[in-house]
Amino acid sequence: MADLNPRGDERGQLVLVGAVVLAVTFIGLAIVVNSAIFSENLATRGDVPGSGEALDYRYEVEQGIGEIVETVNANESRDPTLIENSVENISAQGGLQQARSGRVVSISYVDDEDGNRLAQDTPDVLSANNTKTLATSVSKTRNVQLNFTRNITDGTGSFELIAQESSGSSFWNMTVDPSTSGDNTLRVELNNTAGVTRSGTCEFGSDTPSVDVTGATIDGERCQALVRNGTGEPLWFAADIQGSSDYEIRFENGDEFNGTYSMTMNEGISDFDPNALDNDDNVVYSVTVDLSYSTSAVRYETEIEVAPGEVPP
Amino acid sequence: MTGRGVSIALSYVLVTSITVILVGGLIIAGGSFVEDQRDNVVEQELQVIGNQLAGNVEQVDRMVTADPTTTGPGAAAVNETLPERVSGASYTIKMTTDGGDSQLELTATQVDVSVEVALTVDTAVENSSATGGRVDAYYDQAEQELVIADG
């Protein structure tokens, strides 16, 4: 075939131009692929450093201050400056520790709230009469503990712990049903002002159970009925009542059961069980602190009220 | 002579036409391939960026819900430096709420790509927007809403 172009050195310009255009196009492709690799890299990154730790630190502070409340309550002198000093100590030590990880934290004491501890620390019959009102005009309760010291099947009927709304019809009811032929049952029922009824049950083997009502355990085993029902709605102590209105706490059929109990209420309750020997109206109910947590990417400032053993509001 | 009966001009036109068709086809196919890849990559990048930012907004929401007080914490904020451009295109981020469902909508400005990322939050969301780069996700205590803004 004859040469298309008699001058051989000028052949193939079209192919050359096309190749150049294609080369440029594929350089663009390389940039796009590079960008894709970068987004893959971004996708593998976790949360912003320090963002999850802010809540971890909040939890640690709550635990630490909770220990302080318990310790101050256990100490007969109840020196009020103890709390403030302890909070400062936690702040200084925690601050130093967190600073090593590039976080600036500080905790400062704001306030503490006095409370009443209602208790029967020596095993005895839980109430002299069938019905015993422990306290009325209660707005907050924490750390409710019940320990049955005599075989619960020895009594007649069931034991009930009731939180009843003072000026309404809402009630929260925990029933301990002894059984002579199988596992005993703990039943929780709730009836709120909206007419909603919820319930849940736990079974347990022990005839002398220790029930941590607010901690939701029976002999250390988790009891879900003291937290939520099957559909996830609250069933904890005085749920739907605490936080919205005052209530009274009472035992029903307590004269058939022996044991010990203790609970802590905020100050201002009235008519609290005059017969219980171990009441103490000089305890700390809660401590409020200001928490500040910051890193280069996270800022968290909040006020925390620590009441160990209190159910959610 | 092997080229008898074929004029040089005709051969030239034929070969040139074939070359133009082949090279043009390659360029068009290559160009649209790169264009498709770019759209895909932009979409993927916006997905990744949207999820990163959604993670930050949800983290702020957790800080707010951890606070049982009615007004929430005094300050809760997480910021992150996100890419300023995706495959060379700038983009905008809008946080919106629609009948209880909140989402982030990321839109690339130079290519027709838009991505929605759902948010799972308990706190109310303020309609707010930001562009690529450093983006703050924070809690507005006065309005009791979650907000995003350029950092």
Average pLDDT over residues B94-109: 90
Average pLDDT over residues B100-129: 92
pLDDT confidence bin for A26, thresholds 50/70/90: confident
Residues 8-67 of B with CB under 8 A from A: 8, 11-12, 15-16, 19-20, 22-24, 26-27, 30-31, 33-34, 37-38, 41, 44-45, 48-49, 51-52, 55-56, 59, 62-63, 66-67
Residue A78 or residue B87, greater confidence: B87
Check CB contact under 8 Å for A299 and B77.
Answer: yes
Closest among A201, A207, A206 to A223, alpha carbons compared: A201
Alpha-carbon distance B3 to nearest alpha carbon in chain A (angstroms): 5
> In chain B, whose CA is at the least distance from the CA of A302?
B73
Distance CA B34, CA B45 (A): 16
What does each C-alpha distance from A228 to A225, A236, B148 come to in angstroms?
6, 7, 34
Give pLDDT tens digits for A189-240. Answer: 988 877 788 999 999 989 999 999 999 999 999 999 999 988 888 899 988 8
Residues of B in contact with A304 (CB under 8 A): 67
Give the pLDDT score at A179: 87
Q: Residue holding tokens 């702020």?
A: B60
pLDDT mean across residues, chain A: 86
**pLDDT at residue A33 greater than cutoff 90:** no
Task: Measure CB to CB from residue A39 to each of B44, B59, B73 and give the nearest one.
Answer: B44
**pLDDT at residue A308 greater than cutoff 90:** no
Give pLDDT tens digits for A41-54. Answer: 888 888 888 888 89
Give pLDDT tens digits for A106-145. Answer: 999 998 888 888 888 889 898 888 888 888 888 889 999 9
pLDDT mean across residues, chain B: 89
Give the pLDDT score at A81: 81
Average pLDDT over residues A29-44: 84
Please report, rounded to a whole number, the percentage of residues in chain B having pLDDT higher than 90.
Answer: 57
In three-state secondary structure terms, A283 is: strand
Give pLDDT tens digits for A264-306. Answer: 988 877 766 666 667 777 888 999 999 999 999 999 999 999 9
Distance CA A296, CA A236 (A): 39
**pLDDT at residue B68 greater than cutoff 90:** no
| pTM recorded for the entire structure | 0.80
Average pLDDT over residues A259-265: 91
pLDDT confidence bin for A156, thresholds 50/70/90: confident
Distance CA A251, CA A175 (A): 10
DSSP state letter for A48: P
Average pLDDT over residues B68-97: 90
Closest among A200, A194, A255, A259 to A227, alpha carbons compared: A200
Give the pLDDT score at A1: 43
| B86 close to A (CB below 8 A) | yes
Give the pLDDT score at B1: 53
Size of interface A-B (CB pairs under 8 A): 128
Residues of A in contact with B20 (CB under 8 A): 14
Distance CA B122, CA A141 (A): 27
Give the pLDDT score at A275: 62
Average pLDDT over residues A145-163: 91
**pLDDT at residue A3 greater than cutoff 60:** no
Give the pLDDT score at A2: 44
Give the pLDDT score at A172: 93
> In chain B, whose CA is at the least distance from the CA of A55?
B63
B82 exposure class (CB count in 10 Å sphere: 0-12, 13-18, 19+): buried
Task: Measure CB to CB from residue B48 to each of A2, A43, A304 and give the nearest one.
Answer: A43
